[in-house]
Amino acid sequence: MEYVRLGASGLVVSRLCLGMMSYGSPASRDWILGEDAAEPIVRRAVESGVTFFDTADMYSDGVSELVTGRLLAKLFPRRDDYVLATKVYFPMGSGPNDKGLSRKHIMAAIDASLDRLGVDHVDLYQIHRWDNETPIEETMSALHDVVAAGKARYIGASSMFAWQFAKAQQVAETHGWTRFVSMQNHYNLVYREEEREMIPLCRDQGVGVIPWSPLARGLLTGSRERGSEQTTVRSGSDPIADAMYVDADFDVVDAVRAVAAERGLPPARIALAWLLGRPGVTAPIIGATKTEHLVDALAAEPIRLSEEEVAALHAPYRPHAVLGHH
């Protein structure tokens, strides 16, 4: 496993990040694994050198954080041996202050996350989306105080417009508050709109890019076919993916399959190898509900694609409307 710094920060992370959304309460989604089923996969990741783990308070209504905390405590001898990330923004209750990025919610949410995770700090505390109803000055001030209190070592952001991210960073810079060190955005071979503004901004500002949905929710693995045919449990119960990707995206999938066939490899390895080779990308966040998903991800790390292969993967791409945030 290769280890790299998260952007221009001093934080060292594994080249792959294991997304923990897939582990929590099976009652919340058909494809989510409970703790016992998740343990062999997480153990294999740890044994393979993965040290970076990402979850969020809203995954399985907090159960993902509970499972994540228990598994990592069992699999690592020391808290400092792994990098733990979680997120705040989405509703965690029915009250008007149980969501968003107000000071009140951030301060309550970090304490609740730490309690579920069973730790005294997270390494990376991320805002899950932009909050149009809270002044960004209030949000950045509260996040700075979370860091100052020792409850988070660094802060990061997730999908938003580049101008919003730039504004947040400037607000923090102006006031001497903590700046974001990472951007967790939607980026893969069938959705490359982040290459227009967000990724160039991150590269210019030394911000690490940790993309979510690197395999387009399974589209790039062959779990879906033209005409909305699904071949896995997740693809058959994932309305978000059905809304995000369209039949035209299968032209890209076909290109991935062609390159993979030439190499005698699964398509997932080619799609992940492409992402790992993109400028600015630090660590894609991979999901794994089967051991073979993890094996494909680990095997993608050393693959280097030729210029001709990359050109073939790029050729069928068509621009998209914004997907993943509003």
Per the structure, the complete domain to which residue 200 belongs is given by 3-220+269-303
CB under 8 Å to 281, separation ≥6 — which residues?
187, 209, 210, 211, 275
What pLDDT is recorded for position 241? 60
What pLDDT is recorded for position 224? 75
Helix (H/G/I), strand (E/B), else coil: 11: coil
Q: With respect to residue 243, please indicate whether it lies within any of the assigned structural domains.
A: no
Q: With respect to residue 310, please indicate whether it lies within any of the assigned structural domains.
A: no
Summary mean pLDDT of the chain? 95
- 102-137 confidence digits (pLDDT tens): 999 999 999 999 999 999 999 999 999 999 999 999
Q: With respect to residue 261, please indicate whether it lies within any of the assigned structural domains.
A: no
Q: With respect to residue 299, please indicate whether it lies within any of the assigned structural domains.
A: yes
Q: With respect to residue 319, please indicate whether it lies within any of the assigned structural domains.
A: no
184-192: average pLDDT: 98
How many structural domains are present in the chain?
Answer: 1
Q: With respect to residue 275, please indicate whether it lies within any of the assigned structural domains.
A: yes
What pLDDT is recorded for position 230? 55
What pLDDT is recorded for position 192? 97
What pLDDT is recorded for position 23? 98
The active-site residue out of 23, 59, 125, 245 is 59
- 253-275 confidence digits (pLDDT tens): 999 999 999 999 999 999 999 99
Q: With respect to residue 202, please indicate whether it lies within any of the assigned structural domains.
A: yes
Give the DSSP per-residue string, 178-242: PPEEEEE-B-BTTB-GGGTTHHHHHHHHT-EE--B-TTTTTGGGTSEETTTEE-STTGGG-HHHH
Q: With respect to residue 235, please indicate whether it lies within any of the assigned structural domains.
A: no
| Spatial distance between the Cα atoms of 75 and 63, rounded to a whole number of angstroms | 18
DSSP-derived pairing of the beta strands 152-158 and 224-225 = unpaired
What pLDDT is recorded for position 240? 62
How many other CB atoms are there within 10 angstroms of residue 208's CB atom?
Answer: 26
Over pLDDT 70: what percentage of the chain? 95
- Buried/exposed 130-167: b ≥16 CB within 10 Å, e otherwise: bbeebebebbbbbbbbbbeeebbbbbbbbbbebebbeb
In this predicted structure, the answer to whether residue 227 has a pLDDT above a threshold of 90 is no
216-234: average pLDDT: 73
In this predicted structure, the answer to whether residue 234 has a pLDDT above a threshold of 70 is no
- 26-70 confidence digits (pLDDT tens): 998 888 999 999 999 999 999 999 999 999 999 999 999 999 999
In this predicted structure, the answer to whether residue 84 has a pLDDT above a threshold of 90 is yes
193-199: average pLDDT: 98
CB under 8 Å to 172, separation ≥6 — which residues?
140, 144, 178, 179, 180
The domain that holds 107 is classified in CATH as 3.20.20.100
Q: Assess whether 125 carries a catalytic annotation.
A: no
How many other CB atoms are there within 10 angstroms of residue 68's CB atom?
Answer: 30
